Amino acid sequence: MREYSVEALVEIADDDTLTDMAYAWAHADPDRAVLDEVTCGRFAGMVRAQAKELIAAGVRRGDRVVVLGPTSVAWAVADFAVLSVGAITVPIYPTASAEQIDAVLRDARPAACFTVPDKRALVAGAVRSEVRVWTLGEPAEGIGVDLPDAVVDERRAEVGADDIATIVYTSGTTGTPKGCVLTHRNILAAAGNVVALLPELFRGTDGGDRPSTLLFLPLAHVYGRVVLFGCVAAGTRTGLVGSPNALLSALPSFRPTFLVGVPYILEKIRKAARARVGEGPDGEAGAWVRGLLGGRLTHMICGGASLDASTLDFFTRTGLTVLGAYGLTETTSTVTMSAPSANRPGSVGRPVPGTTVAVAEDGEILVRGPQVSPGYWPDHAGGAPDEWVRTGDLGELDQDGYLRITGRRKEILVTSGGKNVAPAPLEDRLRLHPLVSNCMVVGEGRPFVTALVTLDRTALGEWRGSDLDTEIAAAVDSANALVSRAESIRRFRVLEGDFTVEGGQLTPSLRLRRAVIEKEYAAHIEAMYLH
């Protein structure tokens, strides 16, 4: 078994907590803009006021408090307030179905909830009558205003690094949602070591522009939460965008210096460039992309899924450095990270400081470190920093510690002829066609590989009059060029609808829920194997 360790760059004391950063900046630089131009002083004041409301409403240390809504300052205020009183934040995705919301509420048994107006009745109807339900971003209700600041300070002083900070419900691509427990120490280790590894991104360099970023990842996902805490800790100017779809319109005016996201965003930008001015990033497309990105963007941390090599090359030639990263909820989203001075394209970087990564004999990636979750709610008697987490992902670790993801154990397809097929490279390449919105490769236990394809409705107008099947067939041929004949897609079916988070076919991090899709489109799949 090959393994590689990197020494930690930050130390966490037993009394350190996630809320320390907000109050420290309010004291050190109260006029510094931190979130959507809200200053550090004002942000800490908003957090303290919300914390007083929670205390007055009877929320105790260890109670669970649900936060359901899009990425926003109000979401961040609620989160920091919950943590300030020693309670536990339970995020729910704003796109979650009624059944998913109900499942989390039943399991977490919250003492209070923050939600958006259109979900308020649903949430209120699913919890006990005595549970207070606030609407995110609405003015304070007036309770707790007479409490002295010392009451919040006393509650904060009771919290320690090993107390539970959050329970993140994740079902991944299959299964019933499970509540992954993360402590203050877990998140401090993940965020702190990434900031320490990438000071030029988060803190800037002497004489350079003040670092800034647009955070569009959902705060209900641990990836987005860790980025938020890292940005607040570093004092990074951070704009909050409610959804990935709103990012493109926000980029030119905000002009971030770096981004943190997933390959989907880069694919979306590349498609937009191709539609406007054609490919060729060395010419018009490159200029258009640089203008869209605001002219100051130099780096993007890209994790969450695989990135097609041609997309990586496209953005590299526009001057953007893409830093690969890898993690999962159980490791507080943080396992490996590339750095500007140690970037090996095609890899997802080396272990984040404080982390050990190994690859077992069967190829599975193993992880240990201070960001490892102690287990699942409610018993959370599981992993520990000195125990291996089995990720379920497959990879290769070179002698310099760079990790390459080669597949996912549960997503490797084995045809009836015994051929192992990794679907991700085929799917990544197919999605690059302007007409393709999403796709899923099928072939487990089948004689050959097929694909379900959905169309990008916004692109259809530009392709009116074209033979769509011929265009998609060309995209399939391009993908097949990456693999052997035995692994290639033999047939495909274009679907009427699309795969969406709201429809349940995608996870909130935009990964395919393969079992759901296979069940929903079983008739289409069978038809591809009938003749």
Interatomic CA distance for residues 187 and 250, integer angstroms: 28
Tokens of 359: 């690859």
State which H helix or E strand residue 515 sits in: helix 514-520
Nearest to 421 by CA among 452, 450, 392: 450
pLDDT in tens, 186-236: 999 999 999 999 999 999 887 778 999 999 999 998 999 999 999 999 999
Instruction: Give me the mean pLDDT over the 364-382 stretch.
Output: 89
**Radius of gyration for the chain, computed over Cα atoms and rounded to the nearest angstrom:** 23
Instruction: Give me the mean pLDDT over the 361-375 stretch.
Output: 94
Q: What's the residue count for the chain? A: 531
Torsion of CA 154, 158, 164, 165, to 10 degrees: 30
Which DSSP string do the residues of 398-413 spell out, in sequence order?
-TT--EEEEEEGGG-E
Show the CA angle centred on residue 297, arms to residues 275 and 22, nearest 5°: 125
Is there a common fold for 187-410 and 412-528? Answer: no
Q: What is the DSSP letter of 147?
A: S
Are residues 217 and 5 in contact, defined by beta-carbon separation less than 8 angstroms?
no
Q: Which residue has the tokens 């427990």?
A: 181
pLDDT in tens, 381-429: 555 666 889 998 889 999 999 999 887 766 778 787 667 788 888 998 9
The beta-carbon contacts of 262-266 under 8 Å, at least 24 apart in sequence, are 262/217, 262/302, 262/303, 262/304, 262/305, 262/509, 262/510, 263/302, 263/304, 263/305, 263/306, 263/307, 263/308, 263/311, 263/428, 264/305, 264/510, 265/216, 266/300, 266/302, 266/307, 266/311, 266/315, 266/322
Confidence of residue 172 (pLDDT cuts 50, 70, 90): low
Confidence of residue 437 (pLDDT cuts 50, 70, 90): very high
The one-letter amino acid code at 94 reads P
The domain made up of 187-410 has a fold known as Rossmann fold (3.40.50)
pLDDT in tens, 273-288: 877 777 665 667 788 8
Q: Residue 139 class from Cβ within 10 Å (0-12 exposed, 13-18 middle, 19+ buried)?
A: exposed
Global pTM value: 0.84
**Percent above pLDDT 70 for the chain:** 94
Query: What average pLDDT does the chain have?
Result: 90
CATH architecture of 412-528: 2-Layer Sandwich (3.30)
Interatomic CA distance for residues 397 and 357, integer angstroms: 8
User: CATH: 3.30.1360.170, 1.10.300.10, 3.40.50.980, 3.90.1150.10. Which one for 17-159?
Assistant: 3.40.50.980
Strand partners for 54: none
Interatomic CA distance for residues 272 and 437, integer angstroms: 13
Chain-centre distance for alpha carbon 333:
8
Is residue 375 helix, strand or coil?
strand
Q: What is the DSSP letter of 513?
A: -
Interatomic CA distance for residues 75 and 136, integer angstroms: 7
* pLDDT of amino acid 93: 87
Instruction: Give me the mean pLDDT over the 39-68 stretch.
Output: 96
pLDDT value at 98 more than 90 = no
pLDDT in tens, 242-262: 988 789 889 999 999 999 998
Tokens of 23: 């109050």
pLDDT value at 290 more than 90 = no
Are residues 135 and 117 in contact, defined by beta-carbon separation less than 8 angstroms?
yes
The one-letter amino acid code at 335 reads V
pLDDT value at 454 more than 80 = yes
Are residues 53 and 144 in contact, defined by beta-carbon separation less than 8 angstroms?
yes
Interatomic CA distance for residues 392 and 511, integer angstroms: 15
* pLDDT of amino acid 240: 97
Domain boundaries of the chain, sorted by first residue: 17-159, 187-410, 412-528
Q: Residue 418 class from Cβ within 10 Å (0-12 exposed, 13-18 middle, 19+ buried)?
A: exposed
Q: How many CA atoms lie within 13 A of 495 on its CB side?
A: 22
Nearest to 24 by CA among 32, 12, 13: 32
* pLDDT of amino acid 420: 74
